[in-house]
Structure 1
Amino acid sequence: MKLLKKLTSLLATFIVSLFMVATPVMAAGDNSITVNEAKKGETYNIYKMLDLKVNADKTAYSYTINVNWIEFFGEEGAGATYVTIDNQGYVTWNEDKKSAANMENFGKAAAHFARANKVSGAVDAIKPTSDGSITFSNLESGYYLITSSNGTLAMVLTTPKNPSAKVNEKNPTPSLDKSVQEDSTSKWGKENSAQIGDTVNFKVTIGVQKGAKNYVMHDVMEDGLTFNANSVAIKELTKGTDYTVTTSGLTDGCTFEIRFDQSYLDKITEAHDLEVTYSAVLNEKADITNGEKNEAILTWGDNGSTKWSETVTKTYQFKVLKYDAKDNEKKPLAGATFQLNDAAGNVLKLIKVSDTEYRLANGEETGAVDSFTTVGAGKIIIKGVDLDQYRLVETKAPAGYNTLKDATVVNVTAGDTVTVEIANQSGVELPSTGGMGTTLFYVAGGILVIGAIVLLVTRKRMN
């Protein structure tokens, strides 16, 4: 009831004020307000919150509530604590509400009221076509609120002494930076290496700003990376409350998006960093030549966005040449079977692509084998390995050759130049009947017979 009486009194005062004798500084519609650093593609609205009349000497001001804002400044309104309204409806600003923080909160509350109640603007909204400035012209003297889709921080100012007022866009620009982890180390950067089947960890640092509005993080992974949707985590935030993760129904080509709830964004009182972590598996589609890109971007407001931030996960290959140790031309030798082990001695599963090409299996992939066999058609290529140390263990030698006792160490390096050369020694031929071995026996036997005869003759002569 009190609110109704107050609103009725204010409305009556507003009507009476139309007939009050006052000398305005300028004719109605001669004022302008320019917003500097206006953001391209964002929408700017201006609202007249208080009507203003000024005497000729510019020493006396009389503010009254604009009819569209009576509810906002009423007893139950968000603006009531900021001003005092006398019985005639004149408005004065409360001394304890003049700090920068109070003005910021006032502007945010007024902007929320304007949106929620679809308040009519003083002039049509403006959407800049380029970064720079925009100007609201033909304004009456008054106290104005300017809102921006760029953020929730609003601009408030009055035009009694400055008919060509200027104000800066108050919503700061957020930032985003993406990095990838090198194996399980503490090293993060723009590039890493992995073998097919490995889990790759990513981190995105978002520099959030007060006044944040419509924050959405977009992430695009190439085909060689399989996103793990359950891996997304943001320090100090709760999934489903402060943010949501979307992987389906996206029409912009993104692998997934993180949308921050506006209720969380409204709680931001100072700029700070958010750390977003998630993972993906390097799969069988990994590109040996160019690696797999993963890029992220942050959008906000109507049209604001950071630049894309990109990481690359690379995987490599090496070649195996099996040859006869006596062959100076090192022609490929067929029939040698090998297992590929990692540095810890674990046997790695492989997928056979062709007689001369294998790649690491992606997890428990159907058709995986635990060995490969060399062929005479060429070197064996092993794809999808990390920049790491591996071992080749010969489990079966070609017919007529000795199986290698020790494993062959493979140190994978960047590029396409690593070829592991493995020589096989053939066994020594043993003697057989009719061969040189029998001749040796004959010779040895003859010598023994002759020796016996000489010994017998010598003894007879002595006797």
Structure 2
Amino acid sequence: MKRMKKLFALLMTLAMVMGLGITGFAADTTNASIIINDIDDATVKYIQIVEPDTSSSTGWKLSDSYASVITGANVTLQDIIDATADNQDPGEINTDGKLGAALEALRETVLKNGTPVTGNTINNITSAGIYLIIPEKTGWTYAPTLAYVPVNSTETVQAYVKGAPDQIQKSIEQQSVGKDGIVKYTVTVKYPFISPNYTNASFTISDELTNGKLVVDSNHLFSVKVGNNDLDYTIVDNKAPVNNATEYSIKISQYDSSKAGQTITITYFAQYTGNESAALSNEVKSSLKLTPNGTSTETDTKVIIHPSKATIKKYDVNNEETVLKDAEFQIYEYDGTNENLGKGTLVDTKQTNENGELVFYNLDATKHYYIVETKAPSGYKVDSTPKALTDAEITQQPDRTEPDGTKVIEYKCTDFGGGIVKVPNTTMSALPSTGGMGTTLFTIAGCVIMISAAGLFFATRKKAN
């Protein structure tokens, strides 16, 4: 296969040389077109960087308008011819090595002054040569693409561009979190296109948690893959993805152009550490140093989720204005079914304040809860019947972009119970009377008998004396 490729490259070189020779003896009758593949809805512009020259020994020359930029990057006409001959398809030209730097140097020129392409086809090409094609789309980066049109060609040349979205993406499996809850994150970004000549190029992914920490153990793995295979990475600034860390930063260890365009997927777990309904925020950043001077292109995505809460208000059943302090409630998590109401797991215990209210914070809006009164205020009866709370509702907010360009994805939730959950209390009843007249009559009768007996005793004694 390698021999065949070398042979084909040699034949292509000879063909170009012959084609170049033809330019010296006959007029160029080229009438070709270039179809640009894989641009989706990107806009495209192009320039011609190599054109016929009958006075040259090669039959070609660098276009006058761009020759100084190309040679300034230490690229010669022969370098471009060799790159063209190395490819089996005249539309697929190897732009690795120092040629890539020259093409990058022309990027802004092409986008500013190049000829626009209608759709994805350059029609009515009447000049043989090599064309530099640059697609452009907001949020995407495309590698420069070269297309070679042979002399006197009337064929359609296929050019294949390579591009990937700049924006790093982040998703979360659940849209709320409760006390000490663990959530799973997935980060995706396209493996970038980087010319090998960019010795200072790097691709870094950084992630920072607010009100959370990483969970990394045998049941919660930190995984980095490209496609279905593990991706080797290097720790940046000692920010390793280890248990209890609040941030990590990694970069591709060794760039592999064959992986360009594939999806890098990072999965990991984080535990909520916030207090009193503080949001769990997670900002992931990709940083691509692609240009020769090492300038970074960064994209950020922030995912924010909120815990819910439940507010309980205790009052006298006969007068709602009479709020009750020191009523104690417990809140339980359960599966939401009637048969398991009262059989849940204890989450928290609190007492009402002077306003008759208490708030259970950091409840997971994706779960179900019920409350039980365990202690009544003085003079009132305990109502120990489990009371299910109306579930909270989660709503994804419209995506927004912060002034620094960070894309924000946020989920908010309502309170359990739909607001303040009001629980009335009844006073303790007085002890009821039992047994008719009670002991009063017997007490009086006893006293009369005792007085009569005493009087009889003294009378009998006096008579005896």
Report the TM range for the smaller structure's normalisation: 0.5 to 0.7
Give 1:400 shift.
3.4
Letter in 2 for 1:202: Y
Q: Does 1:324 align with 2:316?
A: yes
Please name the residue that 1:420 is paired with.
421
- Specify the SS of the correspondent of 1:263: coil
Letter in 1 for 2:328: T
> C-alpha distance in 1, partners of 2:361/2:115?
49
Give 1:172 shift.
3.6
Q: Is contact 2:187–2:267 with CA below 8 Å preserved after alignment?
A: yes
- Could you state the TM-score of these two structures normalised by the residue count of structure 1? 0.52
> C-alpha distance in 1, partners of 2:44/2:215?
32
Give 1:256 shift.
6.7
Give 1:333 shift.
0.7
> C-alpha distance in 2, partners of 1:307/1:130?
27
Give 1:22 shift.
3.4
> C-alpha distance in 2, partners of 1:205/1:123?
27
Give 1:277 shift.
1.8
> C-alpha distance in 2, partners of 1:383/1:177?
30
Q: Is contact 2:104–2:144 with CA below 8 Å preserved after alignment?
A: no
Q: Is contact 2:143–2:161 with CA below 8 Å preserved after alignment?
A: no
Unaligned 5+ runs, structure 2: 1-19, 63-74, 119-126, 136-140, 241-246, 335-343, 394-413, 448-465
Give 1:209 shift.
8.1
Please name the residue that 1:68 is paired with.
76
Please name the residue that 1:114 is paired with.
99
Of 230, 233, 238 in structure 2, the residue corresponding to residue 240 of structure 1 is 233
Residue deviations 1:296-315 (CA, integer Å, cap 9, x gap): 67676669999977755232
Residue deviations 1:341-386 (CA, integer Å, cap 9, x gap): 43342344xxxxxxxxxxxxxxxxxxxxxx4321232422223212
Residue deviations 1:84-127 (CA, integer Å, cap 9, x gap): xxxxxxxxxxxxx63x4x963xx23x4324247x6998999544
> C-alpha distance in 2, partners of 1:422/1:224?
36
Q: Does 1:284 align with 2:259?
A: no
> C-alpha distance in 2, partners of 1:305/1:131?
26
Mapping for residues 337-376 of structure 1, pairs under 5 Å: 337-343=328-334, 344-348=344-348, 371-376=349-354
> C-alpha distance in 1, partners of 2:115/2:253?
27
* CA gap 1:44/1:259 in 2 versus in 1, 3 angstroms: farther
Mapping for residues 244-263 of structure 1, pairs under 5 Å: 259-260=251-252, 263=255
* CA gap 1:21/1:208 in 2 versus in 1, 3 angstroms: closer
Please name the residue that 1:381 is paired with.
359
* CA gap 1:381/1:285 in 2 versus in 1, 3 angstroms: closer
Letter in 2 for 1:284: G
Q: Is contact 1:177–1:206 with CA below 8 Å preserved after alignment?
A: yes
Mapping for residues 166-205 of structure 1, pairs under 5 Å: 170-174=161-165, 177-182=169-174, 192-205=175-188
Please name the residue that 1:334 is paired with.
325
Q: Is contact 2:222–2:266 with CA below 8 Å preserved after alignment?
A: yes
Mapping for residues 88-99 of structure 1, pairs under 5 Å: 98=88
Aligned length: 352
- Specify the SS of the correspondent of 2:97: helix
Unaligned 5+ runs, structure 1: 1-17, 27-32, 56-60, 83-96, 135-140, 183-191, 249-254, 349-370, 450-463
Q: Is contact 1:296–1:308 with CA below 8 Å preserved after alignment?
A: yes
Q: Is contact 1:246–1:258 with CA below 8 Å preserved after alignment?
A: no
Q: Is contact 1:201–1:278 with CA below 8 Å preserved after alignment?
A: yes
Q: Is contact 1:43–1:125 with CA below 8 Å preserved after alignment?
A: no
* CA gap 1:226/1:147 in 2 versus in 1, 3 angstroms: farther
Mapping for residues 299-318 of structure 1, pairs under 5 Å: 311-318=303-310
Give 1:422 shift.
3.4
Letter in 2 for 1:380: L
Please name the residue that 1:22 is paired with.
24
Letter in 1 for 2:392: T
Mapping for residues 138-217 of structure 1, pairs under 5 Å: 143-144=129-130, 146=132, 150-152=141-143, 154-158=145-149, 160-161=151-152, 170-174=161-165, 177-182=169-174, 192-206=175-189
Letter in 2 for 1:329: E
> C-alpha distance in 1, partners of 2:80/2:159?
25
Give 1:332 shift.
1.8
> C-alpha distance in 2, partners of 1:69/1:386?
65
* CA gap 1:324/1:130 in 2 versus in 1, 3 angstroms: farther
Q: Is contact 1:287–1:315 with CA below 8 Å preserved after alignment?
A: yes
Residue deviations 1:441-460 (CA, integer Å, cap 9, x gap): 224678999xxxxxxxxxxx
Give 1:43 shift.
11
Please name the residue that 1:442 is paired with.
440
* CA gap 1:245/1:113 in 2 versus in 1, 3 angstroms: same
Q: Is contact 2:275–2:362 with CA below 8 Å preserved after alignment?
A: no
- Specify the SS of the correspondent of 1:144: strand
* CA gap 1:336/1:316 in 2 versus in 1, 3 angstroms: same
Of 368, 378, 390 in structure 2, the residue corresponding to residue 399 of structure 1 is 378
Residue deviations 1:408-460 (CA, integer Å, cap 9, x gap): 443442324333333444444458xxx999962224678999xxxxxxxxxxx
* CA gap 1:311/1:430 in 2 versus in 1, 3 angstroms: same
> C-alpha distance in 1, partners of 2:422/2:380?
16
